Structure 1
């Protein structure tokens, strides 16, 4: 994963996401562990919570150290320092391999950002 400029992430609660029609969420799996996911076209990269990382300690093998400042909507900057490589992520029986950055907070286990959406030519439709 090439990281140059600071990342951007739209952090919101599950309640906020559930009450907003233009936010897409779902429950999918990483190594058969269910994870609550938000698709975030405003996020530069894809993120995984520390809680899920702790459940997958023996499974997530490849870790790169990074120094990535991530700008969040509340005006703050959070430093992220771990990237997990080639993590197989399953959505409705199809496996997508992604690189994902550990992020410390939030109600969602995984946030799939523009890196993932672009790589797989995903389209978000809020019909």
Structure 2
């Protein structure tokens, strides 16, 4: 799924947050893994480590992708709540990071799809909300009554 297509979906949430102090497009979706894009991984300038054994993962398109690398020491800052992560670099269509089912489950997150809100437990075990982008499809169709 592309970034533009995700903006039109009602069952996902996306927003821009800081990752290692870089503004980052983060996509919250019920995928099994939490990857980051190769391009964004290079931008972080962190070392790339080899996994003990390579993984074969299925991405949203149904395509199987072989992953043998990971990047550690990634700090995801969601509204002042810092999460320290190890992510798998893969090719992503317009997203920098996808926070998938593994991350959502580990952080007891709940996606409120229609409202584009994600409720997450902070590292201090306190719930907080992040608000994804909302697309107002009717905004351009409101007549200007001057």
Q: What TM-score bracket applies, with the shorter chain setting the length?
A: 0.7 to 0.9
Superposition map of 1:27-46 within 5 A:
27-41=16-30, 43-46=31-34
Q: Give the aligned CA root-mean-square deviation in angstroms.
A: 1.6
Runs (4+) of structure 1 exceeding 3 A deviation are none
Whole-angstrom CA distance in 2 between matches of 1:75 and 1:22: 18
Unaligned ranges ≥5, structure 1: 1-11
Aligned equivalents of 2:16, 2:2: Cα separation in 1: 15
Gaps of 5+ in 2: 116-146
- 47, 50, 64: which one pairs with 1:64? 50
Q: Check whether the contact 1:98–1:116 (CA below 8 A) recurs between aligned residues.
A: no
Report how many aligned residue pairs link the two structures.
113
1:30-66 Cα distance to aligned partner (Å, 9 max, x none): 111111011111x111001011111111xx2462334
Cα distance in 1 between the residues matched to 2:12 and 2:62: 21
TM-score w.r.t. the length of structure 2 is 0.70
Cα distance in 2 for partners of 1:114, 1:75 equals 16
1:86 Cα deviation from its structure 2 partner: 3.7
Alpha-carbon distance in structure 2 between the residues aligned to 1:62 and 1:119: 23
| Alignment-derived partner of residue 140 in structure 2 | none
Larger Rg: 2
Per mean C-alpha deviation after superposition, the further-off stretch among 12-21 and 73-82 is: 73-82
SS at match of 1:79: strand
